[in-house]
Amino acid sequence: MARVDKSSIETFDFPAGHVLAKKYEVMSRLGSGWEGEVYLLKENSTGIERAAKFFYPERNKRNKTINFYAKKLHKLRDCPALIQYHTQEIIHYGGHDISFLVSDYVEGEVLQDFLRHQPGKRFDSFQALHVLHSITVALEAIHRLQDYHGDLHPGNVIIRRRGLGFDVKLLDFFHWGAPSPLNIRDDVYDVVRILYEITGGKARYQRQPPEIKAIILGLKRTLILKKFRTITMLREHLETLQWEGV
């Protein structure tokens, strides 16, 4: 295991096979970010696979961050595109008590990684709109409960193909500030920005069909939020979209 400076933790680097809290076996690391690292664990008593997010101590002072996530996931537990929270655990590591949040493990691929396997590292128009619709439906359930995501981008969406469409799960809520109309409008803009990015971004924008441009609107925030004042308006637009020449 990597040498750890007790004053700061930059990585946990748990090896496969390592047992944590006398309950979980480490299978692999799934990813990392500003707040901590996510690992695939096996629950020893049942053999069930779980995902666990381990928070760096300096990003989780007095357990403020992990408690926010737990409460928010519990509040939004009936939203199908969120990963279900199970419990919190604590281990002692590198001179610190490290809290981690245990949740369901969901198979799929982060959207930004999924894109790398696509021709030209982007989606065609129809695929992109299917993805956008799935994200919009997922977000609508959150907004219906007067809450918000706050950090939507291709790195915070897990995607899996299902028939003609896609299943999505949303990750890593932004955790500062109570829900407000501004937060919710930010989500709408961020969803449109995802469409811009997954269709090729700036390099491809001028070649997009009118139907795509009519949603992205040059990424002009004022125009986007005037046309799509709520995520429901964006979903309804997608479901009634008329294609030129069809």
- The pLDDT of residue 245 is 43
- The pLDDT of residue 198 is 97
Strand partners, 159: 109, 168
Residue range 20-39, pLDDT digits in tens:
999 999 999 998 888 899 99
- The pLDDT of residue 8 is 76
Q: Name every residue whose Cβ is closer than 8 Å to that of residue 87 and which is 6 or more positions away in sequence.
A: 101, 102
How confident is the model over 126-152, as a mean pLDDT? Answer: 94
121: pLDDT strictly greater than 90: yes
Assessment of whether the complete model's pTM goes beyond 0.75: yes
How confident is the model over 219-237, as a mean pLDDT? Answer: 98
Residue range 186-209, pLDDT digits in tens:
999 999 999 999 999 999 999 999
Contact 26, 16 (CB under 8 A): yes
